Amino acid sequence: MSLAPSLSELIARARADMRMGVPVMLRSEAGAALAIAAEDLSSARLNDLRQLGQAYLAITARRAVTLSARAYDSDLARLVLPKDVDVDWIEAVANPADDLTHPMKGPFQSLRGGNALCAKAAIALAKSARLLPSAVMVDVDNAFEIAASHGLTVLPVETALPLMADLAPLHDMVHARVPLLAAEKSRVHVFRPEDGGEEHYVVEVGRPDRAKPVLARLHSACFTGDIFGSMKCDCGPQLNAALTQMGEEGEGILLYLNQEGRGIGHANKMRAYSLQDQGFDTVEANHRLGFEDDERDFRIGAAILKEMGFGAVRLLTNNPNKIARMKDQGIKVTERVPLKVGENRYNEAYLATKARKSGHLL
């Protein structure tokens, strides 16, 4: 019957469980493990996990470098939890907020060998849930019995991980006319992915000819910059300048992609801002949190452009990586249109870091 959840629906359920601090059962051919997002772990659930076996903390290799912990599993590390530590200790290891005030957290014992695939899946789920990329885990033998008795989601990781890496199909659910200050002849489209992830939005200015390169902007959501007018970044001015130029030309496509904080989510972006207040630049802050420089997936933008019938763009961007990713996905970039606006005394260092470390053309 079709009533049972599909694998993509199970992944969405597991993602939601992680956000709520509910354990997820991850099952692989090499074994199974229970996983709970480190930032949502309660004392009661930590005690229950410990009743099942040796608990450990899965973190990314980026976070492990900051902690001077061994990452034997390539892109992640599994740190044994000492029996006397509590949820506050776990939070301090997973979250770099107090690294400078309490730098000595180790020494750590890293697991080596054995089954690291479940830990990889746990971190992937935490990232997709926009949580800190870390999870408290315990390996178990009777996975189905535990999951059934506690009503837990069971995820087969060998098949789930490739699906999580794939781009979920996106569909134009609805569009309607929305006159904007910058462009009165505009329509807003809502694109929804099949995997239960965030919706993305498109502002279509005028009636662009699909046979010609369209003026386009891939704009990542920035709640603080776009809505509140934050001066820590140049996002708000870029958004307004792009729409203004499209309005002046009479046509254009602005993709508003829900990939806040270069794909780490709003809460983690605020954590990164807090680290910047401590003296770290934007890239260093991401690394200390356990993320890569940029976690965004520009395949989403290319897929939406194709769905709307566009194969070539004049791209409004200062980021050469966006151009490269569009070309990789079969979108022809006939011109890079610079978008140099929004610099001020609060974001000078941020923009300089983007130019120096991320290659932005500023």
Q: Which positions are annotated as active-site residues?
A: 294, 296
Q: How far is it, in rounded angstroms, from Cα 66 to Cα 108? A: 12
The strand pair at 55-60 and 31-37 is best described as unpaired
Residue pair 358/335 in contact (Cβ under 8 Å)? The answer is no
Nearest one of 129, 163, 290 to 155, comparing CA atoms: 163
Please, which residues bridge with residue 257 across strands? Answer: 220
Cβ neighbour number for residue 112 with a 10 Å cutoff: 11
> What sign for the dihedral angle of Cα 90, 81, 50, 288?
positive
